[in-house]
Structure formats: C-alpha cells, structure tokens
Amino acid sequence: MSREVQVRFCESRAVQSRPATHLLAICHSREQAEQVKARLSEWLAPRGLVFNETKTRITNFDAGVDFLGFTIRRFRNKLLTKPSNDALRRIRRRLSTQGPGVVII
C-alpha cells in the first residue's frame, strides 16, 4: 500500500497517524546484521530515505533492547518481550494522578 493511499484512508475516517519510522531487525550474528543494514539502505535509497546513523546501532541481544515501550531480550534461549521500565513508570504515574475507580485505557 502506498503512503498516499494510507494517508487518504486515515484522513477519510478523521484519524491521523504518522508513517512508520522505527525498525528492529533481529539477526544471528553481527555480520548478518551489517548485511541486513546494507540491504535495507539500498532499499530505502530510491524512496529518498536514509538511516539516522546517530540513532542506528547494532547491539548484542542478550543485554536487551528497549523498543517502542517494550524490552526485548533473550533469556535461556527464549525471546522475552515485556513492557519497559520507563513505560511502566509512565503508566503508574498516570494511574496515580487519577482518582479512585477511574481507569483510562
């Protein structure tokens, strides 16, 4: 689906959304991650997009990665996805400022 179609679709229902700007690629090795990054750069170039090198990083997955409010990490050969500590703090702060019996989801 092209971006123009997506924007028209969202605007027709009075919903505004930003285009996806975040990407997480999970690879087995650093070499494979560098190859994926190179291929994605080639794919993005004709579309006029580039990686922001200051925000793009290749890291070890065992330490965990905070991504869009979730912590994703490997533990004993299992993939764990749970809300990040920052996201939990924001939720607790928001709930503590509201009166009892009021929950906004």
**pLDDT, position 6:** 43
What the block records as the tokens of 68 is 């869009």
Question: Per-residue pLDDT tens for 51-76?
Answer: 888 888 888 777 788 888 888 888 88
Pairing relationship of beta strands 78-83 and 65-67 according to DSSP bridges: unpaired
The Cα 97–Cα 73 span in angstroms is 31
Listed by start position, the domains of the chain span 61-99
Verdict on whether the full-model pTM lies above 0.85 = no
Categorize the per-residue pLDDT at 18 as very low, low, confident or very high, splitting at 50, 70 and 90.
Answer: low
Query: Mean pLDDT throughout 91-95?
Result: 85
- The mean of the pLDDT values for the chain is 76
User: Identity (one letter) of the amino acid at 61?
Assistant: F
The Cα 23–Cα 27 span in angstroms is 13
